[in-house]
Structure 1
Amino acid sequence: MTTKPAREALPYRDCVGVAVFNPAGNVFLGQRKFEGDPDQSAAQGFAWQMPQGGIDAGEDPLAAALRELYEETSMTSVSLLAEAPEWIHYDLPDELLGVAFKGRYRGQRQRWFAFAFTGNEAEIDVVAPGGGKHKAEFGAWRWERLSRVPGLIVPFKRPAYDLVVDAFRDIPQRFGQG
Protein backbone atom coordinates (compact mmCIF):
# COMPACT_ATOMS: atom_id res chain seq x y z
CA MET A 1 0.00 0.00 0.00
CA THR A 2 1.33 3.41 -0.98
CA THR A 3 1.60 5.99 1.76
CA LYS A 4 0.19 9.40 0.93
CA PRO A 5 2.50 12.38 1.48
CA ALA A 6 1.74 14.77 4.32
CA ARG A 7 -0.38 17.61 2.92
CA GLU A 8 1.64 20.25 4.76
CA ALA A 9 4.88 18.93 3.25
CA LEU A 10 3.71 19.63 -0.31
CA PRO A 11 3.77 23.10 -1.92
CA TYR A 12 1.07 24.74 -4.01
CA ARG A 13 1.61 24.83 -7.76
CA ASP A 14 1.76 28.43 -9.02
CA CYS A 15 -0.76 28.86 -11.83
CA VAL A 16 -2.88 31.38 -13.66
CA GLY A 17 -6.58 31.34 -14.36
CA VAL A 18 -8.28 33.19 -17.20
CA ALA A 19 -11.84 34.53 -17.37
CA VAL A 20 -12.62 35.67 -20.91
CA PHE A 21 -15.82 37.67 -21.38
CA ASN A 22 -17.66 38.00 -24.69
CA PRO A 23 -19.55 41.17 -25.73
CA ALA A 24 -22.71 39.82 -24.05
CA GLY A 25 -20.88 39.62 -20.69
CA ASN A 26 -20.72 35.82 -20.59
CA VAL A 27 -17.54 33.95 -19.73
CA PHE A 28 -15.71 31.29 -21.76
CA LEU A 29 -15.83 27.71 -20.46
CA GLY A 30 -14.00 24.72 -21.87
CA GLN A 31 -15.22 21.17 -21.44
CA ARG A 32 -12.30 19.06 -20.27
CA LYS A 33 -11.50 15.93 -22.19
CA PHE A 34 -11.81 12.66 -20.29
CA GLU A 35 -8.44 11.22 -21.26
CA GLY A 36 -5.52 12.74 -19.41
CA ASP A 37 -7.79 14.29 -16.78
CA PRO A 38 -5.52 14.24 -13.71
CA ASP A 39 -8.23 14.69 -11.09
CA GLN A 40 -10.97 12.82 -12.99
CA SER A 41 -13.34 15.80 -12.70
CA ALA A 42 -14.57 15.28 -16.27
CA ALA A 43 -15.45 11.68 -15.49
CA GLN A 44 -17.36 12.86 -12.42
CA GLY A 45 -19.61 15.02 -14.61
CA PHE A 46 -17.85 18.30 -13.81
CA ALA A 47 -16.01 18.78 -17.08
CA TRP A 48 -16.36 22.56 -17.40
CA GLN A 49 -13.74 25.08 -16.33
CA MET A 50 -12.07 28.29 -17.41
CA PRO A 51 -8.62 28.13 -19.00
CA GLN A 52 -5.79 27.78 -16.49
CA GLY A 53 -2.28 26.47 -16.26
CA GLY A 54 1.13 26.63 -14.69
CA ILE A 55 3.45 29.59 -14.52
CA ASP A 56 6.86 28.74 -15.94
CA ALA A 57 9.99 29.56 -13.89
CA GLY A 58 10.67 33.28 -14.14
CA GLU A 59 7.48 33.94 -16.12
CA ASP A 60 5.31 36.95 -15.37
CA PRO A 61 1.76 35.87 -14.40
CA LEU A 62 0.09 38.08 -17.04
CA ALA A 63 2.37 36.63 -19.74
CA ALA A 64 1.55 33.14 -18.44
CA ALA A 65 -2.18 33.90 -18.64
CA LEU A 66 -1.92 35.00 -22.27
CA ARG A 67 0.26 31.99 -23.13
CA GLU A 68 -2.07 29.50 -21.44
CA LEU A 69 -5.11 31.09 -23.08
CA TYR A 70 -3.52 30.67 -26.52
CA GLU A 71 -2.29 27.14 -25.79
CA GLU A 72 -5.77 26.00 -24.70
CA THR A 73 -8.10 28.03 -26.94
CA SER A 74 -6.06 29.71 -29.73
CA MET A 75 -7.44 33.07 -28.54
CA THR A 76 -5.20 36.09 -29.00
CA SER A 77 -7.82 38.82 -29.53
CA VAL A 78 -8.25 39.83 -25.91
CA SER A 79 -7.98 42.99 -23.85
CA LEU A 80 -7.16 43.00 -20.13
CA LEU A 81 -10.12 44.02 -17.94
CA ALA A 82 -8.97 43.16 -14.42
CA GLU A 83 -6.71 41.09 -12.20
CA ALA A 84 -8.00 39.40 -9.06
CA PRO A 85 -6.65 41.31 -6.03
CA GLU A 86 -4.98 38.28 -4.45
CA TRP A 87 -3.82 34.74 -5.13
CA ILE A 88 -6.64 32.19 -5.00
CA HIS A 89 -5.86 28.75 -3.56
CA TYR A 90 -7.49 25.38 -3.70
CA ASP A 91 -6.46 22.10 -2.10
CA LEU A 92 -6.79 18.68 -3.65
CA PRO A 93 -9.10 16.28 -1.81
CA ASP A 94 -7.39 13.54 0.21
CA GLU A 95 -8.01 10.86 -2.43
CA LEU A 96 -6.07 12.90 -5.03
CA LEU A 97 -3.20 13.96 -2.79
CA GLY A 98 -0.06 12.29 -4.08
CA VAL A 99 -1.85 11.34 -7.33
CA ALA A 100 -2.86 14.48 -9.25
CA PHE A 101 -0.09 16.84 -10.42
CA LYS A 102 2.28 13.85 -10.45
CA GLY A 103 2.05 13.80 -6.65
CA ARG A 104 4.17 16.94 -6.31
CA TYR A 105 1.60 19.50 -5.11
CA ARG A 106 -1.15 19.84 -2.52
CA GLY A 107 -3.21 22.06 -4.82
CA GLN A 108 -2.88 25.26 -6.77
CA ARG A 109 -2.17 28.90 -5.99
CA GLN A 110 -3.73 30.81 -8.88
CA ARG A 111 -3.44 34.37 -10.15
CA TRP A 112 -6.65 35.16 -12.05
CA PHE A 113 -7.08 37.63 -14.92
CA ALA A 114 -10.21 38.82 -16.73
CA PHE A 115 -10.10 39.68 -20.42
CA ALA A 116 -12.60 40.96 -22.97
CA PHE A 117 -12.73 38.84 -26.12
CA THR A 118 -12.34 41.28 -29.00
CA GLY A 119 -12.09 38.87 -31.93
CA ASN A 120 -14.32 36.69 -34.03
CA GLU A 121 -15.41 33.36 -32.54
CA ALA A 122 -13.86 31.60 -35.55
CA GLU A 123 -10.53 32.30 -33.82
CA ILE A 124 -11.44 29.95 -30.97
CA ASP A 125 -10.11 26.44 -31.51
CA VAL A 126 -10.01 24.01 -28.60
CA VAL A 127 -9.58 20.91 -30.76
CA ALA A 128 -6.26 21.97 -32.34
CA PRO A 129 -5.21 24.87 -30.09
CA GLY A 130 -2.25 27.10 -30.77
CA GLY A 131 -2.31 26.26 -34.45
CA GLY A 132 -2.28 22.57 -33.61
CA LYS A 133 1.01 22.88 -31.72
CA HIS A 134 -0.53 22.15 -28.32
CA LYS A 135 -2.35 19.15 -26.92
CA ALA A 136 -6.08 19.73 -26.68
CA GLU A 137 -7.27 19.93 -23.09
CA PHE A 138 -10.87 20.74 -24.02
CA GLY A 139 -13.20 18.90 -26.36
CA ALA A 140 -15.84 21.63 -26.57
CA TRP A 141 -16.52 25.16 -25.36
CA ARG A 142 -19.37 27.55 -24.63
CA TRP A 143 -20.22 30.93 -23.14
CA GLU A 144 -21.88 30.96 -19.71
CA ARG A 145 -23.08 33.46 -17.12
CA LEU A 146 -20.30 34.06 -14.59
CA SER A 147 -22.66 33.48 -11.65
CA ARG A 148 -23.43 29.94 -12.87
CA VAL A 149 -19.82 28.82 -13.27
CA PRO A 150 -19.13 27.51 -9.73
CA GLY A 151 -22.02 25.05 -10.02
CA LEU A 152 -20.42 23.51 -13.13
CA ILE A 153 -17.00 23.01 -11.54
CA VAL A 154 -15.70 19.93 -9.74
CA PRO A 155 -16.77 20.41 -6.08
CA PHE A 156 -13.31 20.73 -4.53
CA LYS A 157 -12.54 23.74 -6.77
CA ARG A 158 -15.85 25.55 -6.10
CA PRO A 159 -14.61 27.72 -3.20
CA ALA A 160 -11.83 29.02 -5.47
CA TYR A 161 -14.30 29.69 -8.29
CA ASP A 162 -16.59 31.51 -5.82
CA LEU A 163 -13.66 33.86 -5.16
CA VAL A 164 -13.14 34.33 -8.90
CA VAL A 165 -16.82 35.23 -9.27
CA ASP A 166 -16.48 37.72 -6.40
CA ALA A 167 -13.33 39.26 -7.93
CA PHE A 168 -14.96 39.77 -11.34
CA ARG A 169 -18.58 40.25 -10.25
CA ASP A 170 -18.86 43.73 -11.79
CA ILE A 171 -17.61 42.75 -15.25
CA PRO A 172 -20.87 41.33 -16.69
CA GLN A 173 -22.60 44.63 -15.78
CA ARG A 174 -20.03 46.48 -17.91
CA PHE A 175 -21.48 44.57 -20.85
CA GLY A 176 -25.07 45.27 -19.83
CA GLN A 177 -25.70 41.86 -18.24
CA GLY A 178 -27.28 42.03 -14.80
Structure 2
Amino acid sequence: MAKDRIEMELGYRRCAGFMLANRDGLVFAAQRIDSQVLGTWQMPQGGIDPGESEREAALRELEEETGVTSDLVDIIAAMPEPVRYDLPDELVGQLWGGKYRGQEQHWFLGRFKGEDSDIDIAAHDPPEFSEWKWVVPDELPDLIVPFKREVYRRVVKEFRDLV
Protein backbone atom coordinates (compact mmCIF):
# COMPACT_ATOMS: atom_id res chain seq x y z
CA MET A 1 0.00 0.00 0.00
CA ALA A 2 2.87 2.39 0.74
CA LYS A 3 4.20 1.89 -2.80
CA ASP A 4 0.83 2.95 -4.26
CA ARG A 5 0.84 6.09 -2.11
CA ILE A 6 4.37 6.98 -3.22
CA GLU A 7 3.47 6.49 -6.90
CA MET A 8 0.43 8.74 -6.51
CA GLU A 9 2.61 11.48 -4.98
CA LEU A 10 5.10 11.36 -7.83
CA GLY A 11 4.47 13.64 -10.78
CA TYR A 12 5.15 13.34 -14.49
CA ARG A 13 8.41 14.34 -16.11
CA ARG A 14 7.87 17.00 -18.78
CA CYS A 15 9.18 15.70 -22.07
CA ALA A 16 9.20 16.54 -25.77
CA GLY A 17 9.25 14.11 -28.65
CA PHE A 18 9.82 14.43 -32.38
CA MET A 19 8.38 12.34 -35.20
CA LEU A 20 10.75 12.85 -38.11
CA ALA A 21 9.18 11.98 -41.47
CA ASN A 22 11.08 11.66 -44.73
CA ARG A 23 9.88 12.51 -48.23
CA ASP A 24 8.67 8.92 -48.74
CA GLY A 25 6.21 9.02 -45.83
CA LEU A 26 8.39 6.92 -43.52
CA VAL A 27 9.38 7.93 -40.00
CA PHE A 28 12.64 7.71 -38.08
CA ALA A 29 13.02 5.06 -35.38
CA ALA A 30 16.19 4.17 -33.49
CA GLN A 31 17.21 1.35 -31.19
CA ARG A 32 18.13 2.44 -27.69
CA ILE A 33 21.74 1.60 -26.91
CA ASP A 34 20.85 0.69 -23.31
CA SER A 35 18.18 -1.86 -24.32
CA GLN A 36 19.63 -3.81 -27.23
CA VAL A 37 18.62 -7.15 -25.76
CA LEU A 38 14.96 -6.12 -25.78
CA GLY A 39 15.17 -4.52 -29.20
CA THR A 40 13.72 -1.31 -27.84
CA TRP A 41 13.18 1.33 -30.52
CA GLN A 42 11.82 4.84 -30.20
CA MET A 43 11.64 8.27 -31.78
CA PRO A 44 13.80 11.12 -30.48
CA GLN A 45 12.50 12.36 -27.15
CA GLY A 46 13.69 13.70 -23.83
CA GLY A 47 13.17 16.02 -20.92
CA ILE A 48 12.36 19.71 -21.20
CA ASP A 49 14.98 21.91 -19.57
CA PRO A 50 14.00 24.83 -17.30
CA GLY A 51 13.12 27.89 -19.38
CA GLU A 52 12.87 25.85 -22.58
CA SER A 53 9.69 25.64 -24.67
CA GLU A 54 8.31 22.29 -25.76
CA ARG A 55 9.26 23.09 -29.38
CA GLU A 56 12.80 24.10 -28.41
CA ALA A 57 13.19 20.89 -26.39
CA ALA A 58 11.90 18.73 -29.25
CA LEU A 59 14.35 20.31 -31.72
CA ARG A 60 17.23 20.04 -29.22
CA GLU A 61 16.49 16.37 -28.57
CA LEU A 62 16.24 15.73 -32.31
CA GLU A 63 19.66 17.29 -32.88
CA GLU A 64 21.31 15.65 -29.87
CA GLU A 65 20.04 12.17 -30.70
CA THR A 66 20.20 12.22 -34.51
CA GLY A 67 22.53 15.06 -35.51
CA VAL A 68 19.65 16.55 -37.54
CA THR A 69 19.73 20.33 -37.13
CA SER A 70 16.64 22.54 -37.22
CA ASP A 71 17.54 23.89 -40.69
CA LEU A 72 17.02 20.37 -42.06
CA VAL A 73 13.46 20.13 -40.72
CA ASP A 74 10.15 21.83 -41.40
CA ILE A 75 7.82 21.48 -38.42
CA ILE A 76 4.44 20.42 -39.78
CA ALA A 77 2.35 19.98 -36.65
CA ALA A 78 2.24 19.65 -32.89
CA MET A 79 -0.17 17.53 -30.90
CA PRO A 80 -2.74 19.83 -29.28
CA GLU A 81 -2.39 18.15 -25.89
CA PRO A 82 0.45 16.29 -24.19
CA VAL A 83 0.15 12.53 -23.72
CA ARG A 84 1.16 10.65 -20.58
CA TYR A 85 2.40 7.23 -19.72
CA ASP A 86 3.13 5.54 -16.39
CA LEU A 87 6.25 3.51 -15.79
CA PRO A 88 5.84 -0.15 -14.89
CA ASP A 89 5.97 -0.76 -11.12
CA GLU A 90 9.49 -2.18 -11.27
CA LEU A 91 10.84 1.04 -12.84
CA VAL A 92 9.08 3.59 -10.62
CA GLY A 93 11.77 5.07 -8.40
CA GLN A 94 14.55 3.72 -10.63
CA LEU A 95 14.58 6.27 -13.46
CA TRP A 96 15.05 10.05 -13.42
CA GLY A 97 16.28 10.08 -9.84
CA GLY A 98 13.09 8.48 -8.57
CA LYS A 99 11.18 11.76 -8.93
CA TYR A 100 8.55 10.72 -11.48
CA ARG A 101 5.91 8.07 -12.07
CA GLY A 102 6.03 8.55 -15.84
CA GLN A 103 6.26 11.18 -18.54
CA GLU A 104 4.01 13.84 -19.99
CA GLN A 105 5.12 14.18 -23.59
CA HIS A 106 4.61 17.03 -26.07
CA TRP A 107 4.94 15.67 -29.62
CA PHE A 108 5.95 17.41 -32.84
CA LEU A 109 5.97 16.23 -36.45
CA GLY A 110 8.61 17.47 -38.86
CA ARG A 111 9.53 16.83 -42.48
CA PHE A 112 13.18 15.90 -42.97
CA LYS A 113 14.70 17.98 -45.80
CA GLY A 114 18.16 16.44 -45.64
CA GLU A 115 19.76 13.23 -46.82
CA ASP A 116 20.26 10.02 -44.85
CA SER A 117 23.94 10.94 -44.59
CA ASP A 118 22.90 13.95 -42.44
CA ILE A 119 21.70 11.58 -39.72
CA ASP A 120 24.37 10.89 -37.10
CA ILE A 121 23.18 8.86 -34.12
CA ALA A 122 26.66 9.21 -32.60
CA ALA A 123 26.19 13.01 -32.40
CA HIS A 124 25.29 12.78 -28.69
CA ASP A 125 28.03 11.99 -26.19
CA PRO A 126 27.35 9.33 -25.14
CA PRO A 127 25.12 8.14 -27.99
CA GLU A 128 21.62 7.02 -27.04
CA PHE A 129 21.01 4.86 -30.10
CA SER A 130 22.89 1.95 -31.65
CA GLU A 131 21.12 1.87 -35.03
CA TRP A 132 18.28 3.56 -36.89
CA LYS A 133 15.87 2.97 -39.76
CA TRP A 134 12.92 4.48 -41.60
CA VAL A 135 9.63 2.70 -40.84
CA VAL A 136 5.98 2.88 -41.83
CA PRO A 137 4.25 4.96 -39.12
CA ASP A 138 1.80 2.18 -38.20
CA GLU A 139 4.77 -0.08 -37.31
CA LEU A 140 6.02 2.25 -34.56
CA PRO A 141 3.83 1.01 -31.69
CA ASP A 142 5.05 -2.55 -32.25
CA LEU A 143 8.69 -1.43 -31.94
CA ILE A 144 8.36 0.44 -28.65
CA VAL A 145 8.40 -0.95 -25.11
CA PRO A 146 4.90 -2.06 -24.07
CA PHE A 147 4.33 0.70 -21.52
CA LYS A 148 4.80 3.41 -24.19
CA ARG A 149 2.70 1.76 -26.91
CA GLU A 150 -0.51 3.68 -26.25
CA VAL A 151 1.38 6.98 -26.49
CA TYR A 152 2.86 5.92 -29.82
CA ARG A 153 -0.56 4.82 -31.09
CA ARG A 154 -1.93 8.27 -30.26
CA VAL A 155 1.02 10.06 -31.89
CA VAL A 156 0.68 7.96 -35.06
CA LYS A 157 -3.07 8.54 -35.18
CA GLU A 158 -2.63 12.30 -34.75
CA PHE A 159 0.07 12.65 -37.42
CA ARG A 160 -0.69 9.78 -39.85
CA ASP A 161 -2.44 11.89 -42.49
CA LEU A 162 0.33 14.53 -42.40
CA VAL A 163 3.29 12.17 -42.72
Deviations 1:27-65 (A, max 9, x none): 00011002xxxxxxx256241100000100111111111
- Residue type at the aligned position of 1:166: K
- In the other structure, the counterpart of 1:73 is 66
Deviations 1:49-83 (A, max 9, x none): 00000100111111111111001010011110110
Deviations 1:82-132 (A, max 9, x none): 1011101000011111112221100000000000000111111002x15xx
**Structure 1: runs of 5 or more not aligned:** 35-41, 173-178
- 1:91 has 2:86 as partner: yes
Q: Which runs of 4+ in 1 moved over 4 A?
A: none
Larger fraction in strand: 2
In structure 2, what is the Cα distance between the partners aligned to 1:157 and 1:82? 21
SS of corresponding position for 1:6: helix
- In the other structure, the counterpart of 2:30 is 30
Larger fraction in helix: 2
- Residue type at the aligned position of 1:31: Q
TM-score (ref. length: structure 1): 0.85
TM-score (ref. length: structure 2): 0.92
- In the other structure, the counterpart of 1:175 is none
**Structure 2: runs of 5 or more not aligned:** none
Task: Assess if the C-alpha contact under 8 Å between 1:27 and 1:146 holds in 2.
Answer: yes
In structure 1, what is the Cα distance between the partners aligned to 2:68 and 2:129? 14
- 1:50 has 2:51 as partner: no
- In the other structure, the counterpart of 1:114 is 109
- 1:63 has 2:43 as partner: no
Task: Assess if the C-alpha contact under 8 Å between 1:16 and 1:111 holds in 2.
Answer: yes
1:151 corresponds, among 127, 142, 149, to: 142
- Cα RMSD between the aligned structures? 1.4
Deviations 1:143-171 (A, max 9, x none): 00000100111001101111111111212
